[in-house]
Structure 1
């Protein structure tokens, strides 16, 4: 049996304020073509189908069109909900879907597989929707963390599998131990999002198709993330987009290969002074890319995004990253102002605060002295 493992479509997500729906539609159309070309038997979507719990109508239309197109290839389609999805909204029409399309959003169904037969017998696909521990305590007493929730879910899977026999696939949406650290991962953990689930939780199945991480990752031969089909941040720009093709033979996992998907618009990060970025021919090849600029001018520049978009139409992010910026003052701005004894010290404290550590220059100090002198003369004449 051949399985295509994808995840994290995030239908409806924007990229720095720009819509991604048309780009995603093109990628999902290519994914459907690959499903047909590679004679895939089962397509798995491991959560975060939508980017929002309240997706707009065009997001529903893209999902419906894609699910129908995938089913038209002859493949079974199994979709689970992720933490970005509303389980109720994603699952409300599950009972109305055509044969071969399964949308799994109810934790009460965990441990009951979608069973698909091939020449070697049954393959049981256990879809595990995103499990919110606080909402499961009435159903699974004692569950307090993601580790608890996934651990209990996989106990149900293994118990059912022991009774049924055959090959098996688990589908889950979580942070699994061994994931490559990213700012996104660290931020979610620090804010109380998803906690780490040990890899041993997924013992007992032939393959674990995971979602939530936006870059492909192999945590063990049988536990993998497929990542998102589009780049949704500049931090993902160096990660390929695609899906895993998973082959099961009569004995279980036989082979896994990566299937590349097209990148509608590549992402690049440029670094240098604004004037150089606007004129140097070396940056010509970035004109059609999504561009993040880290400009290195000592002081903030006026309206840098608009100026840079005149050359890079798809410049979406601009960051001031001066080279050799002075080490940040240990004291707060309020403390520096309170400690100021002269006008020069007061103005210097203000400029350090608003100019990335750049205080009074020699010319500015001379100008301030002249202004102070004129003020003293004016007061004497008055």
Structure 2
């Protein structure tokens, strides 16, 4: 007796490559995901977070996401975990729309969203398998922000504990509730959006810190039949021997930090007293991302094998060459040139992008990182500063600082002061608030 779980994650609808939208690719890969799910015939579908790339997705992306989830819901019940890119109110609106304007509730809902992490509001649900022999019991945990950890602890001392210690308590509480009145034919599933120690991130070009300070311990994961994890874009099992938990990863190569990665969805067949059968089913719908680096002659040598792809070219040059974009375009007739960077021989600093620098500013994360590094900020202090800046760039909610106090918080991060130890209320000067999460 076994049950089937279909696991997808990190769609990041709305993510662009440079100035280019990828709507046709996204539509194709969503169709591919739905086709694989229909062929697999799961008893439960889990999306482990980051449906959208922005806390305020466009109407087109909301339509695209809701339609894909609706189609998956016709195959099997769907549980979606809120990721750090997702906004609670957006997901709650989608849940309302996808379940007949609130007509379907609780276990009758075809698509359910885990958006709250309060002890009394954790998403716990039961779904019988198609043959009626087993019941899949799922506990779902949305992303818990390291600096806005909103879980209500019974022990006040935990409010000042490390992130890993707090996560240990939260997961233990979810597991306790999940196993209450557990029967012999119940199979446990855990879904969460979080960073597990030892996981290998995609080396994205965004200056994002997945610091060990903000990692949950692999040993603290609940003992379940399958753990569906989100947040890391590289598909992989967690770093714990014999534990059946996987990051499904993103369905497309999201940026040039993910070149060469095989994307996919996870198919898990689990049952009481049996070894789980877990497979990564590859996805093929997206265009490849290719980074070409070297002299113009070296790039020309590899150009014939590039084909239809998104390309970033880093060209070693001795002098400024105004014809470089046209030369590269001729070498790569089927490719889309996203970035063209000239790297002067013997120059240590990054040169501004040739193709985009005339029309847009360089990435602010890169500029801040280079600015701080040039002035002697490095190591953990630099990681903290970049993490703080990433959080501050998101739209503020009721607990977020007003823009005028960002410099104060960044200075505190560089100095090594924990952000959750700062009295933010004294810094607020604006009442403009939204319910938005931060970016990964």
Q: Bin the TM-score by the shorter chain.
A: 0.7 to 0.9
SS of residue in 1 equivalent to 2:41: coil
Structure 2 residue aligned with 1:189: 209
In the alignment, structure 1 residue 88 sits paired with structure 2 residue 89: yes
Higher relative contact order (CA 8 A, sep 6+): 2
Structure 2 residue aligned with 1:147: 164
Bigger fraction of residues in helix: 1
Distance 2:218 2:344 in 1: 42
From the superposition, tell whether residues 131 and 327 of structure 1 become closer, same or farther in structure 2 (CA, over 3 Å).
Answer: closer
Structure 1 residue aligned with 2:293: 271
In the alignment, structure 1 residue 225 sits paired with structure 2 residue 247: yes
From the superposition, tell whether residues 16 and 252 of structure 1 become closer, same or farther in structure 2 (CA, over 3 Å).
Answer: farther
Structure 2 residue aligned with 1:23: 25
- Aligned partner of 2:223 among 204, 207, 216: 204
Q: Tell me, yes or no, if the aligned pair for 1:110 and 1:127 is still in contact at 8 Å.
A: no
RMSD: 2.7
Distance 1:196 1:305 in 2: 42
Give 1 or 2 for the bigger CA radius of gyration.
1
In the alignment, structure 1 residue 106 sits paired with structure 2 residue 116: yes
10-19 vs 266-275, which moves further: 266-275
248-257 vs 2-11, which moves further: 248-257
Distance 1:326 1:261 in 2: 40
From the superposition, tell whether residues 23 and 199 of structure 1 become closer, same or farther in structure 2 (CA, over 3 Å).
Answer: same
SS of residue in 1 equivalent to 2:224: coil
Q: What's the offset of the Cα at 1:85?
A: 0.9
- Aligned partner of 2:11 among 4, 9, 26: 9
SS of residue in 1 equivalent to 2:223: coil
Bigger fraction of residues in strand: 1
Structure 1 residue aligned with 2:145: 132
From the superposition, tell whether residues 134 and 122 of structure 1 become closer, same or farther in structure 2 (CA, over 3 Å).
Answer: same
From the superposition, tell whether residues 287 and 123 of structure 1 become closer, same or farther in structure 2 (CA, over 3 Å).
Answer: closer
Q: What's the offset of the Cα at 1:64?
A: 1.2
From the superposition, tell whether residues 271 and 156 of structure 1 become closer, same or farther in structure 2 (CA, over 3 Å).
Answer: same
Q: What's the offset of the Cα at 1:138?
A: 6.8
Q: Deviations over 1:39-80 (max 9, x none)?
A: 12211111111000000000110011101111222x111111
Structure 1 residue aligned with 2:305: 285
- 1:268-347 residue pairs with structure 2 within 5 A? 268-274=290-296, 277=299, 282-302=302-322, 304-312=324-332, 313-321=335-343, 325=346
Structure 2 residue aligned with 1:178: 198
TM-score (norm. length: structure 1):
0.76
Q: Tell me, yes or no, if the aligned pair for 1:246 and 1:255 is still in contact at 8 Å.
A: yes
In the alignment, structure 1 residue 122 sits paired with structure 2 residue 135: yes
Structure 1 residues without counterparts, runs of 5 or longer: 329-382
Q: Tell me, yes or no, if the aligned pair for 1:110 and 1:157 is still in contact at 8 Å.
A: no
Paired residues in the alignment total: 323
Distance 1:218 1:161 in 2: 22
Structure 2 residues without counterparts, runs of 5 or longer: 100-108, 350-440
Q: Tell me, yes or no, if the aligned pair for 2:202 and 2:233 is still in contact at 8 Å.
A: no
